Amino acid sequence: MGEMQHKSLPERTADVICDMLYRENYRIGAKLPGELKLAGMLEVSRNTVRQAIRILEEKGVLEVERGSGTFVSSKLGMSEDPLGLSMIMDKGRLIRDLMEVRLLIEPRIAALAAERRTQKELEQLKDICGRLEKAWSQGENYYELDMEFHTFLAGCSKNLVVRSLLPAVCQTIILQESVIRARMGKQTILAHRRIYEAVARGSGSEAYDAMMIHLVQNQERLQKQLPGSSSG
108 close to 156: Cβ distance less than 8 angstroms:
no
Would the pLDDT of 205 be above 90? Answer: yes
Mean pLDDT for the stretch of residues 130-142 = 89
Given 62, 78, 94, which residue is the final one in a domain?
78
Given 18, 49, 78, which residue is the final one in a domain?
78
Residue 129 lies in a domain: yes
Q: How confident is the model at residue 109 (pLDDT cuts 50, 70, 90)?
A: very high
Q: What is the pLDDT at residue 28? A: 78
pLDDT in tens, 42-61: 999 999 999 999 998 888 78
Judgement on whether residues 203 and 91 belong to the same structural domain of the protein: yes
- Check which CATH number belongs to the domain holding 28 and give it: 1.10.10.10
Judgement on whether residues 126 and 180 belong to the same structural domain of the protein: yes
Judgement on whether residues 102 and 45 belong to the same structural domain of the protein: no
Residue 121 lies in a domain: yes
Judgement on whether residues 70 and 89 belong to the same structural domain of the protein: no
**Residue span of the structural domain in which 17 resides:** 2-78
Q: Number of structural domains, the chain?
A: 2
Judgement on whether residues 63 and 115 belong to the same structural domain of the protein: no
Judgement on whether residues 88 and 47 belong to the same structural domain of the protein: no
Judgement on whether residues 144 and 210 belong to the same structural domain of the protein: yes
Would the pLDDT of 17 be above 70? Answer: yes
**Can you name the residues that pair with 69 across neighbouring β-strands?**
65
221 close to 185: Cβ distance less than 8 angstroms:
yes
Given 52, 78, 104, which residue is the final one in a domain?
78
**Mean pLDDT, the chain, integer:** 84
Q: What is the pLDDT at residue 182? A: 56
Q: For 71, list phi and psi in degrees, rounded to 5.
A: -130, 155
Indicate the pTM of the whole model.
0.67
Mean pLDDT for the stretch of residues 120-147 = 91
- Check which CATH number belongs to the domain holding 125 and give it: 1.20.120.530
Residue 142 lies in a domain: yes
Would the pLDDT of 1 be above 70? Answer: no
